[in-house]
């Protein structure tokens, strides 16, 4: 197993990706050839089943773009299944304590480092490449925990000091809600108060030498976050690009007479 995304991040480069929320092979295939570094198939807020995810991963060339899954919860069984259907990485939501971070790390690694059950299907070509996969998976799987609650921000040093933890992904929407700013949860960039909390997480991550990721929501925000030191950037999700049809329609002159 070779994870091009991890190689890029190890070199200190920026990796930009897109969230996939619809179970469409065509949408995934189009996004996979758009030039993103990674795609995340969302099982937390989107109605994607594990079977959907396996089919979507199958239309992605991992030498071109890295397939990842945001699992529904910090559950070793769910994480194991996501990896066994072919995910090259996982994003684990709502990690709010050191204990939860340790649990997430162990779920992604085989014994003796972790507790991942041995039964890779798709990524080992159903056993035909078993030895090669299990000997490389611990090093090649990318795992990011989500920091999306003020409780996690307040415990960030102990969370990010967990051995073998590779990085974090700040979820600005849930972080905003946990800080009493639900009405501003979808503002990009987020409020000054939330940005202050994000800065604390980012600076702590820098001290621990872990990857910093977050949701940008726009090109301008993405560039700003990159300047701040974030290297794993979610630019948008599939439905955002469909919504842009509305913006195009607003620019159409449907009443030609108004131009005379």
Choosing from 45, 94, 243, 259, the catalytic residue is 45
CB contact at 8 A, 73 and 94: yes
Cα–Cα distance for residue pair 139/173, rounded to 1 Å: 31
Structure tokens at 96: 């709010």
Count of residues making up the chain: 260
Cα–Cα distance for residue pair 51/29, rounded to 1 Å: 17
Q: Is 243 a catalytic residue?
A: no
- If we measure between CA atoms, which residue out of 187, 192, 195 comes closest to residue 170? 195
Kindly give, in sequence order, each residue whose CB lies less than 8 Å from that of residue 245, ignoring residues fewer than 6 positions away.
Answer: none
Structure tokens at 260: 């005379």
Cα–Cα distance for residue pair 248/215, rounded to 1 Å: 24
SS3 90: strand
Q: Which residues are catalytic?
A: 45
């Amino acid at each position: 197993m070779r994870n091009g995304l991890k190689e890029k991040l190890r070199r200190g480069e920026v990796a930009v990706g897109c969230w996939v929320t619809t179970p469409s092979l065509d949408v995934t295939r189009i996004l996979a050839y758009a030039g993103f570094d990674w795609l995340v198939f969302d099982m937390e807020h989107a109605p994607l089943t594990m079977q959907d995810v396996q089919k979507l991963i199958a239309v992605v060339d991992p030498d071109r773009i890295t397939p990842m899954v945001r699992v529904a919860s910090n559950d070793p069984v769910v994480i194991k299944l996501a990896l066994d259907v072919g995910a090259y990485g996982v994003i684990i939501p709502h990690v709010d304590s050191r204990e939860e971070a340790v649990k997430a790390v162990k779920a992604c690694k085989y014994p003796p480092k972790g507790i991942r059950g041995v039964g890779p299907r798709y990524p080992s070509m159903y056993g035909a490449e078993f030895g090669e996969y299990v000997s490389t998976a611990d090093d090649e799987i990318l795992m990011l925990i989500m920091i999306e609650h003020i409780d996690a921000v307040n415990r960030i040093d102990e969370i990010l000091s967990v051995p073998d933890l590779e990085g974090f992904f700040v979820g600005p929407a849930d972080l905003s809600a946990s800080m009493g700013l639900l009405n501003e949860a979808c503002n990009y960039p987020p409020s000054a108060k939330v940005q202050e909390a994000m800065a604390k997480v980012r600076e702590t991550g820098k001290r621990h030498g872990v990857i910093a990721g977050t949701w940008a929501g726009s090109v301008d925000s993405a560039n700003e976050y990159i300047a701040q030191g974030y290297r794993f950037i979610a630019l948008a999700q599939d439905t955002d690009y469909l919504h842009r049809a509305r913006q195009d329609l607003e620019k159409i002159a449907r009443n030609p007479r108004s131009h005379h």
